[in-house]
């Protein structure tokens, strides 16, 4: 079964492999398959589920809510997010204004069919709204019992520190950050992680397999497999494009003997690598087929020795991205 970890320094425990439905529910997979994946996750011991209002323009929340109907609510940890444009995408259907946050949480709860979420996250930083307004709105969401905890996603170290200071003044705390993180994408290590750790915030990281590149399925000099994310016209191909270079794909193939020696598949190695870091509260894993989850959750509880971690670093070499300046939010609200 999947192990639990504390969400930052809070008292909330979440499954260290958390099921995320970005790029799948409501878009890449049919509703029946999505429900099967959620039920498989539950059978495997996953009780933490991450979604967002923007995923499939609110449909992903609806699908997740339907899939979890009938489950004991107290036994689940449900995360969602607010910021990106949704619905008709009008001028107030985006951002972290008080109006959008208060309407956003009500919309998310309605679609999920729940009275509260465990974690409500600012999906990016909103330069168009005073931070005080955003933090006050989150404080009111918590006081209303509509969210138990508040987190952020892809905020810089400076934004996290300023947000935590205001949150503390208003009687609550930021407990988490949700950044991208993998053996290939390590931009949070230099600034975001030390700041978050100091402030008691855990990392719930997305794309631990670098959009699937670390699975090893993509080979240098060859066309991507039919039906893979790199061929998906609904957004997957665009997201993965930065990794589809021969130097990256060649480096990733050097991980295969390391995984073999450890008795792991390459996806399991990628997830296990993320989970070796004590600043990680959870790795987000999605699935387009239930059997993917069955294999990937086997990374939970795996201990990689220092020799294995060093071998991974040596195999990937200089294709790893580490520039902390790449933690960014749009300077203008997206339309």
d(CA 294, CA 131): 41
Question: Does 4 qualify as catalytic in the annotation?
Answer: no
* Sole residue written with tokens 């109006």: 99
State the catalytic residue, choosing from 4, 55, 181, 218. Answer: 55
Chain centroid to CA 121: 11
* CB hemisphere CA count around 252 (13 angstroms): 28
Residues in the chain: 335
In 7-109, DSSP assigns E strands to: 13-15, 17-20, 48-50, 77-82
- DSSP letters, 148-182, are EEEEESS--HHHHHHHHHHHHHTT--EEEE--B--
What tokens appear for 111 in the block? 């679609």
d(CA 328, CA 16): 25
Active site residues: 55
């Amino acid at each position: 079964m999947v192990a639990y970890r504390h969400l930052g320094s809070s008292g909330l425990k979440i499954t260290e492999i958390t099921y995320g439905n970005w790029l799948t529910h409501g878009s890449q997979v049919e509703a029946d398959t999505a429900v099967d994946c959620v039920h498989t996750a539950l059978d495997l011991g996953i009780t933490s589920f991450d979604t967002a209002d923007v995923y499939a323009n609110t449909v992903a929340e609806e699908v997740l809510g339907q899939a979890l109907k009938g489950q004991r609510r107290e036994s689940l940890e449900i995360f969602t997010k607010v910021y990106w444009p949704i619905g008709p995408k009008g001028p107030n259907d985006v951002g972290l204004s008080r109006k959008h946050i208060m309407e956003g949480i009500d919309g998310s709860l309605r679609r999920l069919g729940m009275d509260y979420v465990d974690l409500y996250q600012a999906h990016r930083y909103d330069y168009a709204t005073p931070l005080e307004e955003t933090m006050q709105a989150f404080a009111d969401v918590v006081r209303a019992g509509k969210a138990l905890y508040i987190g952020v996603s892809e905020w810089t170290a400076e934004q996290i520190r300023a947000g935590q200071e205001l949150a503390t003044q208003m009687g609550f705390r930021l407990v988490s950050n949700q950044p991208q993180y993998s053996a290939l994408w390590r931009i949070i290590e230099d600034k975001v992680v030390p700041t978050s750790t100091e402030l008691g915030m855990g990392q719930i990281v997305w794309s631990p397999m670098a959009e699937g590149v670390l699975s090893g399925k993509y080979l240098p000099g060859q066309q991507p497999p039919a039906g893979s994310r790199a061929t998906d016209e609904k957004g997957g191909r665009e997201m993965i494009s930065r990794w589809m270079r021969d130097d990256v794909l060649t480096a990733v193939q050097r991980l295969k003997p390391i995984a073999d020696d450890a008795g792991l598949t390459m996806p399991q190695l990628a997830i296990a690598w993320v989970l070796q870091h004590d600043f990680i509260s959870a790795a987000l894993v999605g699935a387009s087929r239930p059997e993917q989850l069955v294999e990937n959750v086997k990374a939970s509880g795996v201990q990689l020795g220092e020799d294995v971690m060093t071998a991974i670093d040596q195999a990937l070499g200089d294709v790893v991205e580490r520039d902390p300046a790449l933690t960014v939010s749009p300077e203008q609200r997206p339309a």
